[in-house]
A and B are shown apart, each in its own frame.
Chain A
Amino acid sequence: MPLPQPVAEELRRIVGRESVIDAPNDLRIFERDGSIEGAVPDAVVLASSTEHVSAVIKVAAKHRIPVVPRGAGTGLSGGAVTIRGGIALQVTRMRKILAIDPVAQTALVEPGVVNQELSLVAAQHGLFYAPDPSSQKACTIGGNAAENSGGPHCLYYGVTTNHVLGMEVVLADGSVHWVSGDAPDRVGLDLCGVLVGSEGTLCAITKIKVRLLRIPPSIATMLAAFPSIETASQAVSAVIGHGIVPAALEMMDSVTVGAVEAHYHAGYPTDAGAVLLVEVDGIAESTRELMAAIGKILGENQGYAIREAQTPAERELLWAGRKGAIGALGRIKPNYYLHDGVVPRSRLPQVLSAVGEIGEHYQLPVANVFHAGDGNLHPNILFDLRDRQVLHQVEAAGEEMLRAVVELGGALSGEHGIGLEKSAFMPWIYNPDDLGAMHRVKDVFDADGILNPGKIFPDPSRKSVHLAGRTGLAVEAKWW
């Protein structure tokens, strides 16, 4: 439904004529993020400042129009999808790094700053921003804070919330506030902790103060092949069981390795059942010692073709392969459905064999890429949306995989957020009292429910994802 013209006019007066998009055909291009489902916004509004964000939300509040903040749209749970219509509030023009303090080791950034860009600029001071989602080339810090994103190096360094010191936020009434500040120790009620990871349902983020870390003097990266996912999982448990917490510990199965090799030629052994990528950092003496110890453990657990990157270029290539893994799956099938459940590390072999069985049962290829170190799965069900028959199977297989995760004591999401995609499954892990408590928090911040409605909380009218269920353009549109 298009916005009433007077509302559109109000918005144009705030951000300028060019910065409100409401041509219906153009809006169709904004219907999706990086996930599977889409819904067309009623308008896209480009904000260039906190004042813009505040004024736009005031207009939305007055007319009770949903507002969904949007960064680069790389999210994997439908967080930026305007499922109830309304305004997609785009912050991609707010991309200034406002300050870097090399002594305090902090940066103050606007929400549209691209994750990798911050690390590139911080590198001039010998610093980096630790959370490194695989989409870091494109995803924004604002989106990362909203989703509490993780990444390969979060095993050791922690996820986004561990690196956000404070934020400037706009609440549902359009008022602007700072939560927390410079100190890593959040004094008083930890509002920043509540808002990071709230997926746009409690506030819009307009500035973020983040912690930067010193670039470690020495980084060592190792690749090892294993005959199977099970043996690789045992090796992961063995490494951690020895009291070693690497900076990153990543696994890819043979399907993924094949797709990645085709693009990156990173030298992943394509005959392996699974591949582990291990990284440690610190001072040179300690990384050498750790690598030797890890190499030995991997070898004892059937690891072979174990090799360490000899140059920074080689290391970058190994990582390029891992970080581009999900996109590379497009070489096998044009679409995929991706979950990111988490299980206790010791349950990895069990959950993976369950995932494999589910794929076989539905005769769907499944590619596994995951943060093995913290038990965070990423099973990708591969399919071609143009084959409509397969859609119900894809939905059912995805749901069963998540069910297996939960039955093994796991959680629905490790880093992608609940969003649209997993909201229906929330009652699997939270009882009505738990969900009621979350609802009360939502009511405090946004009683009218205008901020990113339809996310996180289960919607009784939606039982699961609607791969085949959407009408009109949906089935025609291309999702992964």
Chain B
Amino acid sequence: MSVDGFPPRSPGRARVGADAFARLSDDDLATCVHCGLCLDACPTFRITGLETESPRGRIYLMTQWKRGTLPFDEEQVKHIDLCLGCRTCEGVCPSGVPYGRIIEAGRADVEDQRRPSLKRATSRVALRQLVGHPGRLRAAGAAARVAQKLHLTSVARSGRMLPRLRARFRAPAGNIAPAIGQRKHRVAFLVGCVMPIMYPQSHDAAVKLLQLAGCEVWFPPGERCCGALFAHNGDLEGAERLREANMRVYEAGTFDALIVDSAGCGAHLKDFYPGLKGRVKDLTEWLAEVGLPEPKREARIRVTYQDACHLVHAQRIKNQPRDLIRALPGVEWIEMRHADICCGAAGLYSTLEPDMSNRILQQKLEDVLATHADVIAVANPGCQMQLEVGLRAHGSAMKVEHVSEVLLRGY
């Protein structure tokens, strides 16, 4: 150990300035003109009222680190940690600051600088060892499911967070689901890591909708986690390894589009997989493009919708899920206030920053409950889990469903 309590560093490594923050781009940082239009779009600023917990403040901090005008200060890393990575700020930024890219690079740089914490080290190991390997994650999911059946998890905090687990999603034999009716498109489907275990019903519904829309659905064998969870937590190298592995899988097949029904994965694929340029589509984006057949049933429910940050802000997909749901006969639509503001889930954030996550959730629930909807539709598993936990704690009967499930009610 060195005298200041930090672990020893490799010789010659600068502790401040550009060398220590090599991944952060000064040109990216320089696009911020400090106008402050992003402040009230930021969930953590809305809660704390503090410049240090705002996008502008975080960019200012990282800029100073990068330029060496502020020393790296372990205490200040909490401002970076508290960022949800929701990218709401990007949508309102007139200057086009690539905040998502900045915060991911900043986090990766910070990980090299900071004193290791057990919690973060554990989450990184868990990501690499568990999520990075689909077989191991499935095994863990199966174990959790057994534990739930035996009521073993009622004591564990994480057990309360998990939804009731069902049998995991399985790709059909031959890894193909045929089009219903005339085959118009051939699409690949991202099964992913968390969705098939936590919310198999969302995938089931999504695949059914694709088939109804005349798509032959291919499930690329050997596909792994897309890497989004890694990148969001400052493990860019881990994400890169997964991208390389996945690209080999995708290049072996032919498809018109790669369909993603989890917003976080979709955003990551669009940003980090240049080889798939233009072919990554969110489920709702694709369905709005190719069209669904006439619904056969009335839905008869009051529905509202929580935007997924990585859909509305990162992918700028706002109208498609709304339009699709509203087109269902019998649906009573209600737009929720602040629908495009994060619910506090944000991937691993709810585990790493439970206090802030919960404060954001409580603020969100006021808007959710005020809709008096029967169902709140979501587009990402993290949002679903977070809202389920919150609604359950409030004793509300409101159901949380993936957009795909809501849409399938019409067929």
Contact = CB atoms under 8 A, between A and B. Distances in A.
Contacts of A59: none
B188 interface: no
Given A34-B34, A34-B35, A384-B30, A137 B92 contact: yes
Contact of B36 (A21, A135, A478): A135
A28 interface: yes
Chain B interface extent, by class: 35 or more
Contact of B50 (A46, A74, A263): A46
Contacts of A334: 30-33
Interface string A84-124: 00000010110100000000000000001010010010000
B69 A329 contact: no
Contact of B76 (A26, A325, A330): A26
Contact of A326 (B30, B35, B45): B35
A268 interface: no
Interface residues of A, number: 50
Interface stretch (B56-64, B230-238, B278-286): B56-64
A34 B34 CA distance: 6
Nearest to A334: B30
The SS class assigned to the A binding surface is mixed
Contacts of A473: 69
A138 B94 contact: no
Contacts of A28: 64, 70
A25 interface: yes
A425 interface: no
Interface in B25-62: 30-41, 45, 48-52, 57, 60-61
B95 interface: yes
Given A137-B41, A386-B30, A74 B75 contact: no
Interface string A453-480: 0000000000000000000010011111
A335 B73 CA distance: 27
B405 to A, nearest CB: 29
B37 A135 contact: yes
A263 B96 contact: yes
B360 interface: no
A330 B49 contact: no
A435 B92 CA distance: 41
A226 interface: no
B30 A73 contact: no
A468 B128 CA distance: 48
A139 B39 CA distance: 9
Residue of B51, B63, B73, B92 ringed by the most chain A CB atoms within 10 A: B51
Contacts of B40: 72, 114, 117, 137-138
B52 to A, nearest CB: 5
Contact of A324 (B41, B63, B76, B94): B94
Contacts of A139: 36
Nearest to B78: A26
B177 interface: no
Residue of A26, A120, A480 ringed by the most chain B CB atoms within 10 A: A26
Nearest to A331: B96
Interface string A372-386: 000000000000101
Contacts of A33: 36
B291 interface: no
Nearest to B58: A29
A478 to B, nearest CB: 6
Contacts of A73: 36, 39, 51
Contacts of B70: 25, 28
A235 to B, nearest CB: 26
A455 B92 CA distance: 31
B37 A330 contact: no
A117 B41 CA distance: 11
B57 A138 contact: no
A330 B31 contact: yes
Nearest to B29: A478
B67 A476 contact: yes
Contact of B49 (A112, A263, A329): A112
Contacts of B92: 137
Contacts of B50: 21, 44, 46, 90, 92
A325 B94 contact: yes
A2 interface: no
Contact of B51 (A29, A324, A326, A331): A29
A7 interface: no
B41 A330 contact: no
A327 B93 contact: yes
A53 interface: no
A331 B95 contact: yes
Contacts of B57: 29
Residue of B52, B92, B94, B96 ringed by the most chain A CB atoms within 10 A: B94
A262 interface: yes
Nearest to B27: A334
A62 B92 CA distance: 42
A335 B95 CA distance: 11
A32 B59 CA distance: 13
A195 interface: no
B69 A330 contact: no
Contacts of A370: none
A319 interface: no
B97 interface: yes
A477 B35 contact: no
Contacts of B35: 34, 74, 135, 326-327, 480
Contact of B69 (A34, A324, A327, A477): A477
Given A90-B50, A326-B94, A329-B95, A138 B32 contact: no
Contacts of B73: 25
A330 B33 contact: yes
Given A334-B33, A386-B30, A327 B95 contact: yes
B94 A263 contact: yes
B320 to A, nearest CB: 15
Interface string A3-37: 00000000000000000010101101110111000
B34 A478 contact: yes
B354 interface: no
Contacts of A477: 64, 69
A327 B356 CA distance: 29
A328 B94 contact: yes
A336 interface: yes
Contacts of A262: 96
A479 B34 contact: yes
B94 A336 contact: no
A478 B49 CA distance: 22
B36 A34 contact: yes
B71 interface: yes
23 contacts: A25-B70, A25-B73, A28-B70, A29-B52, A34-B34, A34-B35, A46-B49, A74-B35, A74-B36, A92-B45, A114-B40, A138-B37, A138-B41, A263-B96, A324-B37, A329-B33, A330-B94, A331-B96, A334-B31, A386-B30, A473-B69, A478-B32, A480-B34
Q: Which 5 A-B pairs have the closest CB atoms?
A: A330-B95, A92-B49, A324-B94, A327-B94, A74-B36
Given A21-B52, A29-B79, 10 more contacts: A25-B70, A26-B75, A74-B36, A93-B49, A138-B36, A138-B37, A264-B94, A324-B37, A330-B94, A331-B31
Interface of A: 21, 23, 25-26, 28-30, 32-34, 44, 46, 72-74, 90, 92-93, 95, 112, 114, 117, 120, 135, 137-139, 260, 262-264, 324-331, 334-336, 384, 386, 473, 476-480
